[in-house]
Structure 1
């Protein structure tokens, strides 16, 4: 009995369980794809590759991973060689100790350097780059540092652009201020570890909204944790975020100010992007991200190709309105002749 207790784990997750959860969430993909770990220095970057055509790299948001693109890869692989990676500190990629990092610049640099090293290892000289939420912030930082690598940049409901207003405390309710004293940006994921074996229950109880978004993709999955068909999105979220060290959360914490604003916002920095790079900004019609930054930037930057509002969508534009999301990517990144051909015959989409 003592031996069995000695082997008991509070956090019910492991690399093998995450790999299994990733495979399960990717089962809906019918296009043949390759999954491998790409070695970048001392790190491993989990990589998915599918399709053929111009390269398109997908960068996920906070707390996500390659599995969140499960509903998009089949379509995109018809038009691109699609690459999706887990950022360092998330999913199955390496989780280095970053306790010695102290600034937002250092956090940005680690992610930028790892993505650049990854692109060199897989032999990508130039590619289209799409980032969602935190992934949009990192994709913009990467493009500023390595414009020679990026053909076009698509920012899907990107976090981190707006500046914190001087009167921000006047806009925040007292209950939210009190809550924030106990809930920092990294806490929602750290709670999965704190709750240990009950972490998946926490996802079912607190993120039904996100699980519902994938229900049409996985209609047989249960929406509660006590069913015979466990929800694969909930399992994936849990195993992708329950392990330690909490590298991704720590890096994100360095990027943020209290109440969620970026410590080094991008609204002015993005203006330095090379003018040859087309930039498309997407926003969900019902998102919490501020649309106004896109309007302001389009007025000031000649290479803002479009500001697209994804209808009937919140922050998760890649799953809320898949058809408009996909068509917007094609318009943003395909060569004009190919784009004109596709949209002249909508049945080919």
Structure 2
């Protein structure tokens, strides 16, 4: 007997015993009047890792909507003993011990990353659902179970007819002036190094109220592209449509949620996929190369591996800012899969000018100050004040979403959570950039190598700080290819949020062009400006302030 075991025995320590747990559960369930069945449901937790979820079921012959119960932290199915008879009186009821350190279910290793751990919980519930062959059900979760029930509903909305949240945990941000009881403060200090749950439930829960179209969110495992096991957080909409899919790549410091003003319009008549680029948002955060071209190719390779896992053949590829740069690089490397390239105020296209005094003072100052640092380091330095820092520095970003999202604090909180983690993708951007506003390997030097049959729509905001000089160069270098330029009047760099209706229509036109490829000939087009009243208004001239 080990010294630890001897000390446990001396202290009256009751060691874990599967048999003891089974005996206690049976004793508790003696209060039930309704017959029940208990068994382990076998699932594939991870590649080559099986797991078992302890399940009890009652009244499964009933034709009414089933009810599924998810317990809270440290609990198990036995805690529902006072409720099961009533709940099962006229419908099937299923209660499970959540996978992990709960009840009689398997206890596999979970990721140390909060977002990944949450998704592993969700995927285990979905795999359980498939094994028990449930289609739709009422999902009830208590405490931690309420948090997981909400996350499951966001990822698999087609399965949940009604969501019941019983005193759910994890829905609100931790207040800065919170003064809990002494026992809670002590527990918080003791458990802080071990807690890894995601605090963004409220941000993601806001999604369905803004985006009306049903969507699914999940991790796509792309394997060892940069890190040992990279995962890409993905959302999809209207995947049953036969039209050309649209794939969205966000910009620096962003994530899938910032497309919330565009997704409904895009998904009205085609499949739409948006994902957090590797190193950003909820995706894995591996260490990228410090070499500019190698870091770029690692990003591009991650997109291609994601495509393979998604089994997409060809699609319209839309990229904003840094996402536009990577979209163009992807089209250069994998031209067979891109039917149309939409570049929304793309970063990294022109050569860095010898003199750039015409840029706003804040850009020049930022470019000089941030040369040694990752661009968004200030957000992490701000710590808990990060959301306030974002809203103070860029209050316009919050205002862009004000008409659609309440409370308005959600957007700076979301941006903070996206960028307060390990600056993985941000470090890759730092390696690729030359003075923040330009790329070390600008795209105009290689755009002529892009296959001629790839159509391009290039759109800018008329008030954006991005250098627009690349437009003329692209037009010249791709004279034999379809090329369309649109300038959205009154929009800044975040064209998709500044003027969402105009932006959405331009993207939909590009998608329609992709749908009709083969029916029309390629030609070089260059309309100049877009606004809601006229698609081909006069070119903008004069010196207009930019932001």
Deviation of 1:180 (Å): 4.2
Which protein, 1 or 2, shows the higher relative CO under an 8 Å CA cutoff with sep ≥ 6?
1
Match of 1:70 among 246, 257, 260: 260
- CA radius of gyration, larger in: 2
Match of 1:200 among 387, 390, 404: 387
Q: Which residue of 2 aligns with 1:80?
A: 270
Any stretches of 5+ residues in structure 1 without a counterpart? 223-230, 341-345
1:274 has 2:451 as partner: yes
| Larger mean Cα displacement after TM superposition, 275-284 or 185-194 | 185-194
Match of 1:211 among 395, 398, 404: 398
1:233 has 2:233 as partner: no
* Count of paired positions: 325
Q: Which residue of 2 aligns with 1:303?
A: 481
Are the equivalent residues in 1 in contact too, given 2:340–2:514 (CA < 8 A)? no
Are the equivalent residues in 1 in contact too, given 2:339–2:514 (CA < 8 A)? no
Deviation of 1:23 (Å): 3.4
Instruction: Measure, in 2, the Cα distance between the counterparts of 1:89 and 1:181.
Output: 24
Instruction: Measure, in 2, the Cα distance between the counterparts of 1:267 and 1:139.
Output: 14
Matches within 5 A, 1:138-149: 138-149=326-337
Q: Which residue of 1 aligns with 2:407?
A: 221
Instruction: Measure, in 2, the Cα distance between the counterparts of 1:55 and 1:66.
Output: 16
Describe the superposition over 1:89-133 as per-residue Cα deviations: whole angstroms up to 9, x where unpaired: 1100000123xx121111111111111000000110111100000
Match of 1:105 among 274, 277, 293: 293
Are the equivalent residues in 1 in contact too, given 2:221–2:230 (CA < 8 A)? yes
Instruction: Measure, in 2, the Cα distance between the counterparts of 1:291 and 1:180.
Output: 18
- Is the alpha carbon distance of 1:184 and 1:76 closer, same or farther for their aligned partners in structure 2, counting shifts above 3 Å? same
Match of 1:17 among 196, 199, 215: 199
Describe the superposition over 1:312-341 as per-residue Cα deviations: whole angstroms up to 9, x where unpaired: 20111111111211111122221488799x
The secondary structure found in structure 1 opposite 2:245 is: strand
Instruction: Measure, in 2, the Cα distance between the counterparts of 1:112 and 1:175.
Output: 30
Instruction: Measure, in 2, the Cα distance between the counterparts of 1:37 and 1:212.
Output: 30
Describe the superposition over 1:286-323 as per-residue Cα deviations: whole angstroms up to 9, x where unpaired: 11112221123213312242100112201111111112
1:50 has 2:232 as partner: no
Are the equivalent residues in 2 in contact too, given 1:284–1:312 (CA < 8 A)? yes
The secondary structure found in structure 1 opposite 2:209 is: coil
Are the equivalent residues in 1 in contact too, given 2:375–2:430 (CA < 8 A)? no
Deviation of 1:6 (Å): 5.3
Describe the superposition over 1:71-98 as per-residue Cα deviations: whole angstroms up to 9, x where unpaired: 1111110122000000011100000123
Q: Which residue of 2 aligns with 1:60?
A: 250
The secondary structure found in structure 2 opposite 1:84 is: strand
Q: Which residue of 2 aligns with 1:38?
A: 220
1:248 has 2:425 as partner: yes
Instruction: Measure, in 1, the Cα distance between the counterparts of 2:390 and 2:309.
Output: 36
Deviation of 1:234 (Å): 1.2
Q: Which residue of 2 aligns with 1:225?
A: none
Q: Which residue of 2 aligns with 1:262?
A: 439
- Is the alpha carbon distance of 1:288 and 1:81 closer, same or farther for their aligned partners in structure 2, counting shifts above 3 Å? same
Instruction: Measure, in 2, the Cα distance between the counterparts of 1:164 and 1:269.
Output: 15
Instruction: Measure, in 2, the Cα distance between the counterparts of 1:88 and 1:179.
Output: 25
Describe the superposition over 1:29-81 as per-residue Cα deviations: whole angstroms up to 9, x where unpaired: 11011111000001110001002332100000000010010011111101220
Q: Which residue of 2 aligns with 1:330?
A: 508
The secondary structure found in structure 2 opposite 1:80 is: coil
Describe the superposition over 1:227-246 as per-residue Cα deviations: whole angstroms up to 9, x where unpaired: xxxx11111111111112x1
| Larger mean Cα displacement after TM superposition, 193-202 or 56-65 | 193-202
Instruction: Measure, in 2, the Cα distance between the counterparts of 1:70 and 1:238.
Output: 17
Instruction: Measure, in 2, the Cα distance between the counterparts of 1:146 and 1:309.
Output: 28
Question: Aligned Cα RMSD in Å?
Answer: 2.7
Deviation of 1:208 (Å): 0.6
| Larger mean Cα displacement after TM superposition, 44-53 or 61-70 | 44-53
More helix by share: 1
Are the equivalent residues in 2 in contact too, given 1:255–1:262 (CA < 8 A)? yes
Any stretches of 5+ residues in structure 2 without a counterpart? 1-184, 224-228, 520-531, 533-547
Are the equivalent residues in 2 in contact too, given 1:185–1:260 (CA < 8 A)? no
Q: Which residue of 2 aligns with 1:123?
A: 311
